[in-house]
């Protein structure tokens, strides 16, 4: 089967600095594929290239077998690519339900109608409520985003992302800033979405990575040094040396 994401020989240079160094990466349909690595490894740069926010120096990116190299971010989103961010990007002075309904409205091609109609269109609001239920945020539907906790904002951002009905979801550190209970809730939510959307998970929380990932790739100095199952990555000496320091172990 054709992978949902197929990256080949991706290179990004910044004035002599190699941020991504001939990266090969695939995400299979229905898979959660984690991308891990130390700070400065090039993970965020790679995500930005996938979304079209940065143009690669060389290499190719395919989504479901189609080249997206020439497409801007909006074109990639229209083909089924979505992302979440380390720092949430939401509309703070609107309700939780409004945020999700607006995302659903934009997906349906009616962004020119903007805010007003999302509060009167029953179908949009029903869909938004279903999405909030998926991320266990339905009880906060009428709360203003500005009044949410950090963990609730993370849940909402996930609902906004899946409102676009993506084929591939890029998750940029969804556990960042969450406590233990909130992280467990996020893991459960992502696991529940697995049959709905493929995911590329960029994350430092190794407990969450091992709980969720079907496969893991390790990025160090812009290069993928290993890919495999959780057990294969946990026991890879090159990963322990390059990612954690020689003699350390992944938990």
List domains and CATH numbers for the chain.
1-80+166-251 (3.40.50.300), 90-165 (no CATH)
What is the predicted pLDDT for the residue at 15? 86
Q: Is 54 in a helix, a strand, or coil?
A: coil
What is the predicted pLDDT for the residue at 247? 40
Q: Is residue 110 predicted with pLDDT exceeding 70?
A: no
Q: Please tell me the least confidently modeled range out of 101-115, 129-143, 217-231.
A: 101-115
Q: Is residue 78 predicted with pLDDT exceeding 60?
A: yes
Q: Is residue 192 predicted with pLDDT exceeding 60?
A: yes
| Helix, strand and coil percent figures for the chain, each rounded to 5 | 40, 25, 35
Strands (DSSP E) contained in 127-222 are 168-172, 198-202, 215-220
Q: Is residue 120 predicted with pLDDT exceeding 80?
A: no
What is the predicted pLDDT for the residue at 88? 64
Encode pLDDT of 138-184 as tens digits. Answer: 999 999 999 999 999 999 999 999 998 999 999 989 998 899 999 99
* Region 9-34 average pLDDT: 94
Angle at 175 between CA 171 and CA 179, to 5 degrees: 165
What is the predicted pLDDT for the residue at 246? 42
**Angle at which helices 150-163 and 96-107 cross, to 10°:** 20
pLDDT bracket for residue 187 (50, 70, 90): very high
What six digits make up the tokens of 106?
């934009």
What is the predicted pLDDT for the residue at 112? 44
* Region 212-225 average pLDDT: 95
What is the predicted pLDDT for the residue at 251? 46
What is the predicted pLDDT for the residue at 103? 87
* Region 15-23 average pLDDT: 91
Q: Which residues pair with 156 in a beta bridge?
A: none
Q: Is residue 16 predicted with pLDDT exceeding 90?
A: no
- Note the pTM of the prediction, 2 decimals: 0.89
pLDDT bracket for residue 109 (50, 70, 90): low
Using an 8 Å Cβ cutoff, are 200 and 23 in contact?
A: no
What is the predicted pLDDT for the residue at 245? 55
* Region 28-48 average pLDDT: 93
Using an 8 Å Cβ cutoff, are 199 and 190 in contact?
A: yes
* Region 75-104 average pLDDT: 86
């Amino acid at each position: 089967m054709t992978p949902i994401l197929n990256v080949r020989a991706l290179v990004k240079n910044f004035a002599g600095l190699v941020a991504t160094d001939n990266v090969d990466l695939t995400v299979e349909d229905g898979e959660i594929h984690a991308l891990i690595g130390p700070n400065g490894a090039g993970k965020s740069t790679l995500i930005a290239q996938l979304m079209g926010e940065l143009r690669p120096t060389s290499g190719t990116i395919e989504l479901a077998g189609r080249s997206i190299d020439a497409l801007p971010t909006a074109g990639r989103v229209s083909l089924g690519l979505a992302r979440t961010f380390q720092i949430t990007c939401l509309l703070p002075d609107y309700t939780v339900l409004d945020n999700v309904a607006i995302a659903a409205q934009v997906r349906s091609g009616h962004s020119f109608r903007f805010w007003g109609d999302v509060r009167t269109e029953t179908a949009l609001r029903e869909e938004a409520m279903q999405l909030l239920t998926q991320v266990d945020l339905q009880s906060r539907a009428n709360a203003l985003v500005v009044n949410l906790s950090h963990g609730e904002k993370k849940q909402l951002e996930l609902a906004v992302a899946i409102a676009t009905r993506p084929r591939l979801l890029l998750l940029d550190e969804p556990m960042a800033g969450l406590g233990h209970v909130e992280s467990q809730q996020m893991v459960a939510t992502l696991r529940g979405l697995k049959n709905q959307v493929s995911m590329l998970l960029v994350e430092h929380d190794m407990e969450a990575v091992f709980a969720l990932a079907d496969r893991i790739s390790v990025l160090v100095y812009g290069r993928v040094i290993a890919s495999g199952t959780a057990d294969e990555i946990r026991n890879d000496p090159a990963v322990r040396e390059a990612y954690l320091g020689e003699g350390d172990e992944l938990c």
